[in-house]
Amino acid sequence: MEKLGGIFNPSSPEMEAMADLTYYVIAISIGILAIIVVAVAYIIIRYRKGSKDSSEPYQNFGDLRLEIVWTLIPVAIIAVLFQLTCSTMKTIDPPIGNEEPDIVVIGHQWWWEFYYPKSGVLTANEMHIPVGKKLLLRIESIDVIHDFWVPELGPKIDAIPGHTNHLWMGASEPGVYLGACAEFCGTQHANMRIRVIAETEEEFNEWQKQELVVPRTPRSGIAGKGAELFQTKACMNCHTIKGTPAAARIGPDLTHLNKRQTIGAGVLTNSPENLTKWLYNPQKYKQGSLMPNMKLSDSEVEAIVAYLEGLK
Amino acid sequence: MSMKIPLVPENLKPLPRLKENEGMLSWVASVDHKQIGIMYLISTLVFFIIGGLEALVIRIQLAQPEFDFISPEVYNQMFTMHGTTMIFFVVMPFLIGLGVYLVPLMIGARDMAFPRLNALSFWLVIFGGILLYYSFLTQSGPSEVGWFAYAPLSEKPFSLNKGPTYWALGLLATGISSVASGLNNIVTILTMRAKGMTMRRLPLFVWMILVTSFLLVFVIPIIASAFAMMLLDRLLEATFFTPAHGGSAILWQHFFWGFGHPEVYILVLPAFGIISEVIPVFSRKPIFGYSFVAGSTVAIGLLSLGVWAHHMFAVGLGNVANLYFSLASMLIAIPTGVKVLNWVATMWGGKIWFATPMLFATAFIIEFVIAGLTGVAVASVPIDWVVTDSYFVVAHFHYALFGGSLFAIFAGIYYWFPKMTGRMMSETLGKWHFWLTVIGFNMTFFIQHFLGVMGMPRRTYTYHDFPYWGSMNLISTIGAIILALSVIVFAWNIRRSLKHGEKAPDNPWNAWTLEWYTTSPPAVHNFDLVPPVRGRRPLWDLAHPDQLDEPNSKVV
């Protein structure tokens, strides 16, 4: 059997607490539903009108004691549920105090930007985290309301322009956790996906080091031509590549694009072939994306792919 | 008490029937509450079919992962229009329309307090619907920002098309209509009751319409002013909801849900009213705990005004606010549970006749309990953080609004159709309609609870092929197709019964409220004489002068 996701695979202490509470409430709910279903089923069998019976049954107008009892029972259930709610929230949402965020998450139409203020790393759509650590995320938005949600790692929280939110997050086990934007944010809301890559402390540090390397810009060959096209074909109006004049943050930072697993915030796996397809016409794979069809020629696409894939 | 009291004069005058005044003009120009009520019902059935087709398009697109049936823009337009249509042009005007038809009859009045205002209310709904659907003819089509139209996505920089403008204008028109019909109902119910019809003898459907009407008058102005601000933003460069220019995106959500949550009860309280009429009649017993059913409605109405931010737990309002709204929302379960248990207790010990209205009413109880239980779950903040904006919530509110409101609406249509038209609906087709609806509905929506907790977000035109997502969505889509079949059977039943249905007697269900005292369909002036109202069930008292409801019913 394939592994079920979401609540069936809680992978952080926060998510485990939330999943436990959910299971508990679902169990109580099934119990209550069962009582009602059994009562109604009994009524249907027992109190069905006989086909020849035209007499009226006993006219019962109610019972004050019963009304009091079935008002008080829900009060008790709710008291318990509210207590559980409060204690679970203590676990998953402790006060932030003066702590600095480990990662700043910025929602864009339709991709995610991740900034690590402690190291200066800036990346997109794929968030690397060290495993077993409770990290503080600051959630922001540059345009409309988005919502950061990785179902196996914890709660979801809105990314709102003009309003900063915080979220505690971690992963108990190494692995890739998939998430997505959960607040409707426009045409490509469906393809605003998140990959969280939880790795050991050493792997994470190594990744950070790699991300901070400013690559050498190729001056010759096909990649050199690609580098030149990147600066002249309007790519630089939206994207950043460190070590070059391209420094815009409208689209994702592409400095270390070749290290990422997907392109287009999760629409295609990252490979030279897919990058080629994407550059011919991003609108074919992500209709409505803010990256227009640049109408590049075969040789231009080939050069830009060689440049982006070759950045080290 | 063996002496027979002549309660009704022997000879009823023969009266002109509606049929004799046929012709379009007699409808368009009508200020008669029955004609207006029927026009409400017919137009909501048309909108129901349109909204249902939109839902079908949504489900076909989601039948398979990465399916390519419609473009993302069209998908977003479809779910926007589906939600808007079903809420503002189907459930709401249906229940208001049913109230317009029934309230004067049930309280023994000649018409609504303000018949012309009543007509205005109806025509404003039609006007609003035309404005909304006119946006299909604009260059970029209707609004694609959802029925919630969150700012700043709905604001000009992000939605340059005309769709959201038409959307807001159309809903503003229906908003004016809703406030007018709310006021009309309140005045009618408070001032035009027949002699003897005290508030403690008011039929429960009328009680629920009264509470709903107060909610309309309190909360529609909130959203109407928000629409006005949105239109100022979009048309005159104001910046109420644009954070980039000093406005607030969250403010829109407070306005929207300040209206939006009471709206849920506007959509469901009259449905409770229908159920509270149907269950006693078909169980052959008075409602169990009348005062508690009526009183819990008032409690729900009051509580519903203070719970709106449970739609905003993911906004980050802080734990104090979140916990207040969490507890307040959970409290609504208490009066709602009281209602459900009173309905079950009404059936207990009865002699139940499972005609189609009662089938829908019985299924309503189960479906609505499911909605109520998931509703309490999502009121708990951490659970909400798991499931909000996921398919779990889609399942939850469809159980409330389809399993709840629509099942009750179907019960109501089968119950009052004979009174409105003078014809019975087909029981055979009714049973087909019922079973197809129950199977199709649960197949479509139950499985979505699982999709939600497994991480499927709402409002996405496509999804990755995660384990089981494809097959679960396919099951949901097949359920939707079965539902479409059920609607065809239903529409056929109405059409067929209007022409060839068995002639309905005045009181085919042997019911007890005043509308069943007059002819089917009722005369233009409703009643020649209103029988004395000496208890909650005037027609029971007429039939059983030796076993009057009061004083027995005074207890609860």
pLDDT of residue A312: 76
Q: What is the pLDDT of residues A173-218, one digit of tens each?
A: 999 999 999 999 999 999 999 999 999 999 999 999 999 999 999 9
pLDDT of residue B225: 97
Instruction: Tell me the mean pLDDT in the region B112-120.
Output: 95
- Given the residues B311, B398, B433, B536, select the one marked as catalytic: B311
Q: Which residue in the set A78, A143, A190 is minimally distant from B460, CB to CB?
A: A190
| Neighboring chain A residues of B511 at a CB cutoff of 8 Å | none
Share of chain B above pLDDT 70, in %: 96
Q: Is the pLDDT of residue B13 over 60?
A: no
Q: Is the pLDDT of residue A171 over 80?
A: yes
pLDDT of residue A1: 55
Q: What is the pLDDT of residues A68-111, one digit of tens each?
A: 999 999 999 999 999 999 999 998 988 888 899 999 999 999 99
pLDDT of residue A144: 96
A103-212: CATH topology? Immunoglobulin-like (2.60.40)
ipTM of the complex: 0.95
Q: Is the pLDDT of residue B527 over 70?
A: yes
Q: Which residue in the set B327, B382, B468 is minimally distant from A92, CB to CB?
A: B382
Q: Is the pLDDT of residue A265 over 90?
A: yes
Phi, psi of B281 (to 5 degrees): -60, -45
Nearest to B400 by CA among B364, B436, B434: B364
Of A141-145, B24-28, B89-93, B193-197, the least confident: B24-28
pLDDT of residue B387: 96
Instruction: Tell me the mean pLDDT in the region B475-488.
Output: 98
Instruction: Tell me the mean pLDDT in the region A230-255.
Output: 94
Q: Which residue in the set A4, A147, A186 is minimally distant from B454, CB to CB?
A: A4
**Known catalytic membership, residue B263:** yes
Q: How far apart are CA B255 and CA B258, in angstroms?
A: 5
Q: What is the pLDDT of residues B499-526, one digit of tens each?
A: 999 999 999 999 999 999 999 999 988 9
CB pair distance less than 8 Å for A33 and B341:
no
Phi, psi of B526 (to 5 degrees): 70, -70
Total CB pairs under 8 A between chain A and B: 289
Q: Which residues pair with A106 in a beta bridge?
A: A113, A140
Query: Is the Cα torsion angle B224, B230, B235, B239 positive or negative in sign?
Result: positive
- The answer to whether the CB of B348 falls within 8 A of the CB of B285 is no
CB pair distance less than 8 Å for A32 and B323:
no
Q: What are the strands, taking DSSP E only, across B368-471?
A: none
Q: Which residue in the set A71, A182, A288 is minimally distant from B73, CB to CB?
A: A288
| Neighboring chain A residues of B555 at a CB cutoff of 8 Å | 61-62, 64
pLDDT of residue B318: 92
Q: What is the pLDDT of residues B331-353, one digit of tens each?
A: 999 999 999 999 999 999 999 99
Rounded to a whole number, what is the distance in Å from the CA of B72 to chain A's nearest CA?
6
- Given the residues B201, B339, B433, B536, select the one marked as catalytic: B339
Edge-to-edge strands, sheet with A111-116: A121-124, A111-116, A103-108, A135-141, A165-169
The mean of the pLDDT values for chain B is 94
**Known catalytic membership, residue B225:** no
Of A51-55, A261-265, B90-94, the least confident: A51-55
Instruction: Indicate which of A71, A78, A148 best probes the interface with B, i.e. most B CBs within 10 Å of its own CB.
Output: A78
pLDDT of residue B25: 79
Q: Which residue in the set B315, B322, B330 is minimally distant from A81, CB to CB?
A: B330
Q: CB within 8 A of B127, min separation 6: which ones? A: B173
**Known catalytic membership, residue B111:** yes
- The answer to whether the CB of B209 falls within 8 A of the CB of B266 is no
Q: Which residues pair with B390 in a beta bridge?
A: B457
Topology match between the domains A103-212 and A221-310: yes
Instruction: Indicate which of B353, B387, B389 best probes the interface with A, i.e. most A CBs within 10 Å of its own CB.
Output: B389
Q: Is the pLDDT of residue B7 over 70?
A: no
Nearest to B429 by CA among B487, B366, B484: B487
| Neighboring chain B residues of A109 at a CB cutoff of 8 Å | 158
Neighbours of A125 (CB within 10 A): 20
- Provide the pLDDT confidence category of residue A136 given band limits of 50, 70 and 90: very high
Rounded to a whole number, what is the distance in Å from the CA of B340 to chain A's nearest CA?
9
| Neighboring chain B residues of A179 at a CB cutoff of 8 Å | 455
| Neighboring chain B residues of A160 at a CB cutoff of 8 Å | 243, 249-250, 315-316
Instruction: Tell me the mean pLDDT in the region A111-121.
Output: 96
The mean of the pLDDT values for chain A is 94
Q: How far apart are CA B500 and CA B493, in angstroms?
A: 10
| Neighboring chain B residues of A180 at a CB cutoff of 8 Å | 455, 457, 460
CB pair distance less than 8 Å for B382 and A18:
yes
Q: Which residue in the set A21, A61, A71 is minimally distant from B334, CB to CB?
A: A71
- Provide the pLDDT confidence category of residue B27 given band limits of 50, 70 and 90: confident
pLDDT of residue B1: 40
Rounded to a whole number, what is the distance in Å from the CA of A167 to chain B's nearest CA?
10
Share of chain A above pLDDT 70, in %: 99
Q: How far apart are CA A255 and CA A239, in angstroms?
A: 9
**Known catalytic membership, residue B33:** no
Q: What is the pLDDT of residues B240-277, one digit of tens each?
A: 999 999 999 999 999 999 999 999 999 999 999 999 99
Rounded to a whole number, what is the distance in Å from the CA of B371 to chain A's nearest CA?
10
- The answer to whether the CB of B229 falls within 8 A of the CB of B249 is no
pLDDT of residue B21: 57
The residue extents of the domains of chain A are 6-46+62-92, 103-212, 221-310
Phi, psi of B161 (to 5 degrees): -70, 165
- Given the residues B458, B459, B496, B534, select the one marked as catalytic: B458
What's domain A221-310's architecture?
A: Sandwich (2.60)
Instruction: Tell me the mean pLDDT in the region A139-158.
Output: 96
| Neighboring chain A residues of B547 at a CB cutoff of 8 Å | 59
pLDDT of residue B3: 46
Domains and CATH numbers, chain B: 30-544 (1.20.210.10)
Q: Is the pLDDT of residue B39 over 90?
A: yes
**Known catalytic membership, residue B71:** no
Higher local confidence (pLDDT), B23 or A301: A301
- Provide the pLDDT confidence category of residue B551 given band limits of 50, 70 and 90: confident
CB pair distance less than 8 Å for A187 and B72:
yes
Instruction: Say yes or no: domain A6-46+62-92 is CATH 1.10.287.90.
Output: yes
